[in-house]
Each structure stands twice: as C-alpha cells, then as structure tokens.
Amino acid sequence: MSSELIAPVAAAGVAGLQPFEAVAPPSGNFGEWLGKEVTQLNQVMLAAESRLQDQAAGRTQNLHEVMIAMEEARLSLQLAMQIRNKVLDAYQELMRMQI
C-alpha cells in the first residue's frame, strides 16, 4: 500500500476532529454542576436513541452517524459511571476516617 493512498484518508479523519477545550471549574455548587451534567448525558442518550429509531424506520441512510451517536452515548454513560464510582469510593473513604 502506498502512502499516497493513505494521506487523503488520514487528512479526512483529522479534519473532523475538534480540539480539546479547557474545562472551567463549576461556577455554582457541586449539586448544580452535577445536575447540569446529568441533563447533558440524558440529551446525548436521547439523541442516540432518536437516531437509532430513525434508522430503524428508514428515515435516514447514514448508518455511520447512527453508530457514532450510539458510541458517543455509550462512552458518555461509561464516563458517568466511572465518576459515580470514584465519588462513592471517596465518600466511603471519608466515612471510614476516625474523628
């Protein structure tokens, strides 16, 4: 395989990526931030479900967009579960501390 065949594919893949943005610390309290993030997670999950239903009903032909939305939803949910696990571990560690 020659490099001139790989270059357009690699350039197309990089063009769609967005750079990471710095995450600002939450301006309100932790509860408000957590509520906002859970709402955003719910929106991602609903968008993926909507795309899946559109695909099943034949309203869209872009299977790759459906798969990308499903993978984004899966990764978002996994991240939320890992954050939940870390928060619970921290809480349990605090409860084990002797005063």
Measured distance CA(78)–CA(70) in Å, rounded: 12
Residue 80 lies in a domain: yes
Residue 75 lies in a domain: yes
pLDDT of residue 33: 84
Residue 83 lies in a domain: yes
pLDDT of residue 52: 92
Residue 81 lies in a domain: yes
* Ramachandran assignment for 85, one of left (phi > 0), alpha (psi -120 to 50 degrees), beta (any other): alpha
pLDDT of residue 7: 54
* Ramachandran assignment for 28, one of left (phi > 0), alpha (psi -120 to 50 degrees), beta (any other): beta
Residue 11 lies in a domain: no
Distances (CA, A) of 26 to 34, 88, 93: 9, 20, 24
Residue 65 lies in a domain: yes
pLDDT of residue 47: 94
- Number of domains the chain contains: 1
Parts of the chain with a pLDDT under 50: 1, 9
**Range of 43's domain?**
27-96
Residue 40 lies in a domain: yes
pLDDT of residue 85: 96
Opening angle at CA 58, ends 55 and 64, nearest 5: 35
Residue 6 lies in a domain: no
pLDDT of residue 60: 84
